[in-house]
A and B are shown apart, each in its own frame.
Chain A
Amino acid sequence: MNFAVLQFPGSNCDQDCVHVLADVLGHSARLLWHKETSLGNADAVIIPGGFSYGDYLRTGAIARFSPIMHAVQTFAANGGLVLGVCNGFQILCEAGMLPGALIRNRSLQFRCENIFLKTETRNSPYTNAIPEKLMRIPIAHGEGCYFAQPDTLSRLKANDQILWRYVSAQGETTELANPNGSVDNIAGICNERRNIAGLMPHPERASEAILGCADGKSIFESIIAWQQQQAVAKAA
């Protein structure tokens, strides 16, 4: 499978994503500078974490107008898989490709810690191969408080678009388990068509046992499994 990992000025998780996809999972992954205008032969696009354009104005607000984002929007409009991690999630919300917005953490603090993540649905290209247990994945953000208007939130729930929530070690969605004040403990969502997703936690930082935890790998494995199912269905 061919992954394209976007690189904006200020991206800093791009190499980690390429490492996991290529070295850990054995797939093709290449970096794509934001000034590029084509995604080439990519089967899926990863928008990595970081501080694109120094987070000036609002997180992701400037990056969404980079030339490569036109290609990403066309790719997604044709059903292509696009996953945004952390700053990538912020960029997708700013671009209007995912509903809602990410605002300053309730605590006003940058939070960098391991959290427990509950996968709320396996019905998506990003969650289908995740085992039936909580994931332990790091977060590292100052603006990760997910906000959506009540009607948007109702639609997210009605369409099963909430992919992940912050939970306690016992799997409960408590206030204490919510690291940033996100509405309804939301950590990650997908669009209605389910081909675009974003999450604040960093699965690429928890994809190898040597790093203390490999739970995050199952998100990337889900994408690969999904792509393979699609290829089989197409051939049949």
Chain B
Amino acid sequence: MKAKIIITPKKAVLDPQGKTVQNALEHMGYQGINAVHVGKYLEIEVAGDREAVRRQLDEACHKFLSNPVIEDYRLELE
């Protein structure tokens, strides 16, 4: 199966990349852009029992793939 992991900076953390992209969108004339957050997207091909896979990847997200001090993550199994 395929696991999809979306990692975004926490709201309280300075996100200069998101801010720069937001400014660029505004300069290009796009209206109503309230905020942009630039994160990471990982796809992991993985085999095994669905619940075991979820548990394992959830741990990996917390320990390694994201840094809980500065980032939030969302894990989806396809």
Size of interface on A: residues with Cβ below 8 Å to B: 19
Whether B14 contacts A145 by the Cβ 8 Å rule is yes
Interface residues on B, range: 10 to 19
Whether B70 contacts A101 by the Cβ 8 Å rule is yes
Q: How far is the CA of A57 from the CA of B9 in the complex (A)?
A: 13
Whether B69 contacts A107 by the Cβ 8 Å rule is no
| Nearest-CB residue, chain B, relative to A64 | B64
B12 at the interface (CB under 8 A from A): yes
Whether A108 contacts B69 by the Cβ 8 Å rule is no
- Please name all residues of chain A whose beta carbon is closer than 8 Å to the beta carbon of B65 when the two chains form the complex: 57
Find residues 2-60 in chain B having any chain A CB closer than 8 Å to their own CB: 9, 12-14, 16-17, 20
A106 at the interface (CB under 8 A from B): yes
Mask for B57-74, Cβ within 8 A of A = 1, else 0? Answer: 000000011010110000
Whether B13 contacts A181 by the Cβ 8 Å rule is no
- Please name all residues of chain B whose beta carbon is closer than 8 Å to the beta carbon of A103 when the two chains form the complex: 9, 13-14, 70
Mask for A77-111, Cβ within 8 A of B = 1, else 0? Answer: 00000000000000001100000110111111000
Binding site for B on A (CB under 8 A): 57-58, 61, 65, 93-94, 100-101, 103-108, 145, 147-149, 181
Name the 5 nearest CB pairs between A and B, nearest first: A101-B69, A101-B70, A108-B16, A106-B16, A101-B67
Q: What are 25 residue pairs bridging A and B, where the CB atoms are less than 8 Å apart in the complex?
A: A57-B64, A58-B67, A61-B64, A93-B69, A100-B69, A101-B69, A101-B70, A103-B14, A103-B70, A104-B16, A104-B17, A105-B16, A106-B16, A107-B16, A108-B17, A108-B20, A145-B14, A147-B13, A147-B14, A147-B69, A147-B70, A148-B69, A149-B12, A149-B69, A181-B14
